[in-house]
Amino acid sequence: MASRTAVEHPTATVPVHKDPDILAAAARMAGEDLCSIADLSSSEVRAILKLGREVKHNPREYRHALDAKQMVLMFEKASLRTRLAFETGFNTMGGNAIFVDQTNSPLGERETIADVARNLERWVDVIVLRTYAHDTITDMAANARVPVINALSDFEHPCQALADFMALEEHFGKVAGLNFTFVGDGNNVCHSLMLTGAQLGANVTVATPRGYSPDIEIVTIAREMAERNGGEIRLLQDPHAAVESADAVYTDVCVSMGFEHESTKRAPIFRPFQVNEALMAKAAPHAVFMHCLPARRNEEVTDAVIDSPQSIVFDQAENRMHAQKALLLLLLGGLANVTSFQ
Ligand code: CP
Ligand code: NVA
């Protein structure tokens, strides 16, 4: 079946192997961690998106870029997209991915995070973590001499946001100046979207119920980034005002993993924030609907919206793999093995 979205591929003015953002990112990011989008400069975010598009359209060029590299994924929470996008992406560049289910054995319980790090770095080239506590990720990064990637913590989901803005760039041609609205819980996904949007010069509006607004530290950093990049960050509590003139409307589940015990309390609080046809009608007529997935259908979003032609949720999901491949290439120095970059 043909793609339903009108995907634009802006003509590259500079060949990708000469692109200054990509070359600078390859030099600066090799061996680094990605705990937060705040670890990346604006130019590095742009580089990941450009390289993601390149990898998406020319996957064969990168078939051996990470030959014989080893990746471990240690996940304290369930995953479909993140795990599979990392595993398929890494394997199709010549690497080998090892998954360790930590859902019944939280990291740091059996031995310290530092000791885990000092073991892992002897065997693997990159550590991918999905955790509850964000500190688990930063502790691992502080103690491991190989790159550590945040595959979602309670505080951030950087890989998600990179794929999402890649999807927006494909759909609209550019992200700077785009009106991007997030409606829902101001936690991990929202935080990473705010930072990524700010680094790309988007106008980011966030509408949350009172008491569920984004963390003040993220708001402060995102506002500084937005000011430098020509965008703005607005925080509202009225979803209808927030989606006015929006080019993209994004939502996430009202009850994140680890907060299931709050389901009954949250349901009535988040009900007015449901993205339904009435809410989407207030956005720009060309607006897209976005969701990180998994969706709780007919809770935070109705079937009519998520299944509508405006929805780009599966393009986002697809781009998880391409954006993560770009990230891995940059963190692991993989471009040195790609003929066009030599
Ligand atoms: N969006 C996302 O991270 O999906 P998974 O929880 O399935 O990995
Ligand atoms: N906010 C959600 C995102 C899942 C991808 C959660 O943390 O469960």
pLDDT in tens, 74-117: 999 999 999 999 999 999 999 999 999 999 999 999 999 999 99
First to last CA, the chain: 38
One-character DSSP codes across 140-160: HHHH-SS-EEES--SS--HHH
At residue 4 the predicted structure's pLDDT band, cuts being 50, 70 and 90, is: very low
**Closest ligand to residue 85's CA:** 1
Our answer on whether the CB atom of 79 is closer than 6 Å to any ligand 1 atom is yes
Mutate to test the pocket of ligand 2, among 252, 255, 313, 316 (most ligand atoms within 8 A of CB): 252
Pick from 222, 282, 221, 215: which is nearest to 247 by CA? Answer: 282
- Tens of pLDDT, residues 150-165: 999 999 999 999 999 9
Chain position carrying tokens 């939280």: 106
| pTM listed for this prediction | 0.96
**Closest ligand to residue 293's CA:** 1
- Kindly give the distance from the C-alpha atom of residue 256 to the centroid of ligand 2, in angstroms, as a whole number: 5
- Kindly give the distance from the C-alpha atom of residue 340 to the centroid of ligand 1, in angstroms, as a whole number: 33
The whole-angstrom separation of Cα 133 and Cα 139 is: 10
Our answer on whether the CB atom of 192 is closer than 6 Å to any ligand 1 atom is no
Catalytic residue selected from 157, 171, 191, 322? 157
Residue ranges of domains in the chain:
16-156+319-335, 160-317
User: Would you say the CATH fold of 160-317 matches that of 16-156+319-335?
Assistant: yes
Task: Sheet containing 248-251: give its strands across.
Answer: 232-236, 203-207, 179-183, 248-251, 288-291
Averaged over 121-149, what is the pLDDT?
Answer: 98
Class of domain 16-156+319-335: alpha beta
- Tens of pLDDT, residues 266-286: 999 999 999 999 999 999 999
At residue 288 the predicted structure's pLDDT band, cuts being 50, 70 and 90, is: very high
Class of domain 160-317: alpha beta
- Tens of pLDDT, residues 199-215: 999 999 999 999 999 99
